[in-house]
């Protein structure tokens, strides 16, 4: 053991230089070529910048709602509810979310509400909702904003992101992009 | 076929297809024969050995290997403690995060040292960028340590009879430089160009569209970290919610790449073993058993998550998207079910969904994956764990046919069997004893649970299983940053990492020095499907017998309360 100490310390120093300095600096250097220089992708709209990957809280009737969040979309941290499937307190929360949703969207039936819009995401920062979740909000948005339903529905269709290469994964909608598009519509 | 399932199958097939050529490359790296990357890596190796004052050609016995391995790990531990407890005053801390308490630093240091990455802190608030980079360093070298130990096994069965098993530092450096580094670099760049941050600037502020409120957004040098977190099967996230965070895993392409990133080294190590000892058929036997085990765990999870929570279906909404609590829309329920098993059969422990909120039996399969811990397994160590099961199966089969048990021309005798049994029983012993203690002292643990009833018990069982399997995922609702959890899991981590490395390496070393017996008509063939079945039976019996009672108290009971 004793004779191993010196090589261990010296090799540690050498590998620190390689893996903790050279490697991250290389990645950082190449990141300068990416969008926004590796600081996270942003959208600029009317003088403000937003992170397109970081979800925001949308609760007002004139915007498409985002998913419930265990951290209230505070991107200084992140977190899910971690509630177990059988937790009765949690099921009560879900029930009240359904009721609230129906109050704000009186024109839709309960069995049209997709599960993602009444359950909290894993990160608490989910930027997306399902296509169905946007679809059932079209009537409300059209009414509140005085737009035609077909115009709003067209917007939703335009903002629908297909699965990767049309083959892999889910269909989804970025709520922030959809709502910005909605604001530009009027 | 729907696009979610197609995505999963494609991901897995790409990983297997890449693992075979990579296995060949890895075998060449450890043999020391020429590869096309030598012009880049030869000079790097030379510099590292020069600074380290190491002669990579000096052969070591298995005892010398273990001594070198443990010593360098001790050095890393001491540096880590010092750094984490003083990070507040050190550079690269733009968000002004505080020093870690001693018990948290102890837990964090050990858990990164042992390739577990349990993370009782949250990345955004608990560590500085300097600490993140240090932890990233540990992600490289801890994976390299596991691989270097596995190479001792490779060496032991390559030659007929020897006690010269190569040089530990040589294997460590080559694993890190020639295998982990290039794969990580590729993955890091894919992430960077898909929106994962790689910046040394601190938190940014943005105003929200709806209310014009100010929200802070955590960033950091994440891409480099996330790449080795997967390639090294470490699993520790840069951000608190790991690969569920939209910066850490921005889209479905990065999902696929991170899945492949964590599958690829454990898979290719299986093939590398076959190439190295020139018994490719043995690799296919191992791969076959592991893959059947993997599929048996992953298929129900995909289905359960896709079908969703019955308690929510009964509320009368459209539950066709599946169990979306604790999941992200860009991945969906099926892909999250798939990830939850990949990350637990392999000792990664990264998550793209909150395991705490998965269906009870999905949780059970995640637990079983870690309890077995040998279906693929972590970098290098997965193969070592599987080796223990092979030894047990050889012994039992030998007794059944009335012959001296042999594996690859070496007699398995009492000493090897004792070590194998101790290691096989250590895992259930640590998990069950620790969980029993946690249950017996509710004054330390009851208030840390996030869910009542059976699920609360599952949270504790999961925490210790994850520690003992060096996995690092969690039922994250558990409030685990308390002295009880930090210290008790820290101890479990230490024992469950180093003993299962020492045991198989010792067996390999002992077997290597034995006389080689040429294979004859009476030799038990170990590269056949019959023997594969035998290994599978041994694994199933040990796991089922040891853990079934505990699983009944947690996930199984919860399942029956939910699906009435």
- Each residue's pLDDT tens digit, B47-59: 999 999 999 999 9
Contact call for residues B505 and B512 (beta carbons, < 8 A) = no
**Would an 8 Å CB–CB cutoff place B75 in contact with chain A?**
yes
- Each residue's pLDDT tens digit, B472-513: 898 988 888 899 999 999 999 999 999 999 999 999 999 999
ipTM score: 0.93
Is A170's CB within 8 Å of B359's CB?
A: no
* Exposure string over B508-530, b if 16+ CB within 10 A, otherwise e: bbbbbebeeeeeeeeebebbeee
Q: How far, in Å, CA of B48 to CA of B67, rounded?
A: 20
Query: From the CB of residue B395, how many other CB atoms can be counted at a distance below 10 Å?
Result: 21
**Would an 8 Å CB–CB cutoff place B140 in contact with chain A?**
yes
Asked if pLDDT for residue B314 goes beyond 80, the answer is yes
**Would an 8 Å CB–CB cutoff place B322 in contact with chain A?**
yes
Asked if pLDDT for residue A1 goes beyond 70, the answer is no
For strands B410-411 and B406-407, give the pairing: antiparallel
Residues forming a β-bridge with B204: B217
Please give the average per-residue pLDDT across A155-182, as a whole number.
Answer: 92
**Would an 8 Å CB–CB cutoff place B76 in contact with chain A?**
yes
Ranges of beta strands (E only) in B283-435 are 406-407, 410-411
What is the structure's pLDDT at B123?
A: 82
Q: Name the residue facing B203 among A76, A121, A125 (closest C-beta).
A: A76
The Cβ-side half-sphere exposure at B46, using a 13 Å CA radius, reads: 6
Helix A2-16 vs helix B38-52: angle between axes, to the nearest 10 degrees? 130
Q: How many CB pairs under 8 A join A and B?
A: 369
Nearest Cα residue to B15 out of B216, B363, B318, B265: B265
Q: Name the residue facing A119 among B316, B318, B325 (closest C-beta).
A: B325
Is A34's CB within 8 Å of B193's CB?
A: yes
What is the structure's pLDDT at B1?
A: 59
* Opening angle at CA B106, ends B101 and B112, nearest 5: 120
Asked if pLDDT for residue B397 goes beyond 70, the answer is yes
Chain A environment of B189 (Cβ under 8 Å): 27, 30
Q: Give the helix/strand (H/E) hosting B277.
A: none
- Each residue's pLDDT tens digit, A34-57: 888 888 888 988 888 899 999 999
Q: How far, in Å, CA of A52 to CA of A39, rounded?
A: 12
Is B315's CB within 8 Å of A45's CB?
A: no
- The pair of structure tokens assigned to A180 is 């910005």
- Each residue's pLDDT tens digit, B442-476: 998 888 898 888 999 999 999 999 999 999 898 98
Q: How far is CA A11 from the centre of its chain?
A: 43
Is B327's CB within 8 Å of A122's CB?
A: yes
Query: CA of B514 to nearest chain A CA: how many angstroms apart?
Result: 26
- Each residue's pLDDT tens digit, A117-147: 999 999 999 999 999 999 999 999 999 999 9
Q: Name the residue facing B475 among A82, A163, A176 (closest C-beta).
A: A82
Is B185's CB within 8 Å of A23's CB?
A: yes
* Exposure string over B199-210, b if 16+ CB within 10 A, otherwise e: bbebbbebebbb
**Would an 8 Å CB–CB cutoff place B148 in contact with chain A?**
no
A 103-162: CB under 8 A from B? 110-116, 118-130, 132
Query: CA of A150 to nearest chain B CA: how many angstroms apart?
Result: 23
Nearest Cα residue to B508 out of B143, B144, B162: B162
Q: Name the residue facing A123 among B201, B328, B335 (closest C-beta).
A: B328
Query: CA of A104 to nearest chain B CA: how many angstroms apart?
Result: 16
Chain A environment of B72 (Cβ under 8 Å): 4, 8, 11-12
Q: How far, in Å, CA of A165 to CA of A154, rounded?
A: 22
The DSSP 8-state label assigned to residue B101 in this structure reads P
Query: How does the average pLDDT of chain B come out, rounded?
Result: 92
Q: Name the residue facing B328 among A58, A85, A122 (closest C-beta).
A: A122
Q: How far, in Å, CA of B329 to CA of A178, rounded?
A: 15
Query: CA of A139 to nearest chain B CA: how many angstroms apart?
Result: 18
Asked if pLDDT for residue B521 goes beyond 80, the answer is no
Is A120's CB within 8 Å of B475's CB?
A: no
A 66-85: CB under 8 A from B? 67, 73-85
Query: From the CB of residue B88, how many other CB atoms can be counted at a distance below 10 Å?
Result: 12
- Each residue's pLDDT tens digit, B189-207: 999 999 999 999 888 888 8
Asked if pLDDT for residue B11 goes beyond 90, the answer is yes
Query: Exposure of B217 by Cβ count < 10 A (0-12 exposed, 13-18 middle, 19+ buried)?
Result: buried
**Would an 8 Å CB–CB cutoff place B217 in contact with chain A?**
yes
Please give the torsion angle defined by the CA atoms of residues A154, A59, A177 and B328, in that order, rounded to the nearest 10 degrees.
Answer: -100
Q: How far, in Å, CA of B262 to CA of B348, rounded?
A: 7
**Would an 8 Å CB–CB cutoff place B130 in contact with chain A?**
no
Q: Name the residue facing B246 among A118, A125, A183 (closest C-beta).
A: A125
Contact call for residues B92 and B220 (beta carbons, < 8 A) = no
What is the structure's pLDDT at B447?
A: 87
For strands B214-217 and A172-174, give the pairing: unpaired
Ranges of beta strands (E only) in B73-176 are none
Chain A environment of B227 (Cβ under 8 Å): 27
Determine the 3-state secondary structure of B318 from DSSP. strand
Contact call for residues B93 and B129 (beta carbons, < 8 A) = yes
Is B206's CB within 8 Å of A50's CB?
A: yes
Query: CA of B448 to nearest chain A CA: how many angstroms apart?
Result: 13
Asked if pLDDT for residue B66 goes beyond 90, the answer is yes
Q: How far is CA B516 from the centre of its chain?
A: 34
B 178-197: CB under 8 A from A? 181, 184-185, 188-189, 192-193, 195, 197
Residue B560's closest chain A neighbor by CA?
A86
């Amino acid at each position: 053991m004793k004779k191993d100490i010196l090589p261990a310390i010296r090799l540690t120093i050498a590998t620190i230089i390689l893996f903790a300095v050279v490697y991250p600096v290389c990645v950082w250097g190449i990141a300068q070529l990416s969008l926004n220089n590796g600081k996270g992708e942003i959208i600029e709209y009317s003088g403000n910048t937003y992170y397109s990957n970081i979800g925001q809280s949308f609760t007002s009737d004139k915007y498409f709602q985002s998913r419930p969040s265990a951290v209230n979309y505070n991107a200084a941290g992140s977190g899910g509810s971690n509630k177990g499937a059988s937790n009765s307190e949690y099921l009560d929360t879900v029930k009240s979310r359904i009721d609230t949703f129906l109050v704000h969207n009186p024109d839709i039936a309960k069995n049209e509400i997709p599960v993602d819009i009444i359950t909290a995401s894993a990160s608490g920062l989910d930027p997306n909702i399902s296509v169905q979740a946007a679809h059932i909000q079209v009537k409300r948005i059209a009414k509140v904003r005085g737009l035609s339903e077909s115009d709003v529905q067209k917007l939703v269709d335009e903002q629908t992101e297909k699965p990767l290469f049309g083959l892999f994964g889910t269909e989804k909608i970025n709520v922030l992009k959809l709502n910005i598009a909605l604001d530009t519509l009027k | 076929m729907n696009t979610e399932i197609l995505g999963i199958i494609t991901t897995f097939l790409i990983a297997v297809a890449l693992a075979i050529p990579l296995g060949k490359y890895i075998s060449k790296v450890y043999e020391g024969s020429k590869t096309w990357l030598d012009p880049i890596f030869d000079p790097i190796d030379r510099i590292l050995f020069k600074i380290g004052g190491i002669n990579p050609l000096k052969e070591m016995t298995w005892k010398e290997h273990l001594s070198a391995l443990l010593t360098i790990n001790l050095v890393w531990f001491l540096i880590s403690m010092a750094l984490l407890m003083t990070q507040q005053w050190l550079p690269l801390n733009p968000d002004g995060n505080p020093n870690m308490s001693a018990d948290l630093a102890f837990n964090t240091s050990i858990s990164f040292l042992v390739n577990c990455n349990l993370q009782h802190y949250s990345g955004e608030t608990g560590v500085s960028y300097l600490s993140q980079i240090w932890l990233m360093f540990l992600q490289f070298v801890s994976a390299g340590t596991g691989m270097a130990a596995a190479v001792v096994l490779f060496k032991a069965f390559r030659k007929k009879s020897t006690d010269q098993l190569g040089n530990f530092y040589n294997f460590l450096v080559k694993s890190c430089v020639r295998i982990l580094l290039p794969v990580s670099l590729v993955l890091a760049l894919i992430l960077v160009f898909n929106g994962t941050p790689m910046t040394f600037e601190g938190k940014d502020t943005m105003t929200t569209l709806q209310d014009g409120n100010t929200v802070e957004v955590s960033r950091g040098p994440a891409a480099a970290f996330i790449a080795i977190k997967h390639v090294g099967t470490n699993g520790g996230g840069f951000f608190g919610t790991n690969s569920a965070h939209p910066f850490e895993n921005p889209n479905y392409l990065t999902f696929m790449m991170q899945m492949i990133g964590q599958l690829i080294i454990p898979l290719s190590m299986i093939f590398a073993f076959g190439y190295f000892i020139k018994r490719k058929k043995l690799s296919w036997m191992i791969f076959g058993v592991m893959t059947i085990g993997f599929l048996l765990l992953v298929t129900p999870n995909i289905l359960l998550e896709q079908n969703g929570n019955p308690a929510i279906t009964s509320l009368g909404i459209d539950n066709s998207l599946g169990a979306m609590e604790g999941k992200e829309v860009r991945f969906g329920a099926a892909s999250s079910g798939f990830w939850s098993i990949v990350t637990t059969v392999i000792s990664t422990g990264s998550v793209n969904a909150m395991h705490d909120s998965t269906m009870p039996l999905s949780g059970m399969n995640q637990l079983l994956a870690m309890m077995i811990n040998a279906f693929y397994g972590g970098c290098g160590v997965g193969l070592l764990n599987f080796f223990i099961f092979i030894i047990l199966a050889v012994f039992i089969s030998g007794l059944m046919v009335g012959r001296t048990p042999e594996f690859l021309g070496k007699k398995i005798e009492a000493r090897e069997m004792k070590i194998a049994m101790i290691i096989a029983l250590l895992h259930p012993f640590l998990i069950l004893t620790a969980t029993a203690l946690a249950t017996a002292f509710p004054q330390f643990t009851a208030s840390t649970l996030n869910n009542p009833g059976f699920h609360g018990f599952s949270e504790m069982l999961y925490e210790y299983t994850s520690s003992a399997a060096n996995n690092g995922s969690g039922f994250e609702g558990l409030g685990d940053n308390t002295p009880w959890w930090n210290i008790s899991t820290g101890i479990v981590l230490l024992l469950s990492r180093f003993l299962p490395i020492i045991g198989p390496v010792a067996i390999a070393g002992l077997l290597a020095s034995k006389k080689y017996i040429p294979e004859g008509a009476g030799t038990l063939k170990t590269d056949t499907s019959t023997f594969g079945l035998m290994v599978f039976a041994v694994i199933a019996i040990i796991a089922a017998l040891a853990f079934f009672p505990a699983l009944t108290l947690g996930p199984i009971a919860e399942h029956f309360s939910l699906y009435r």
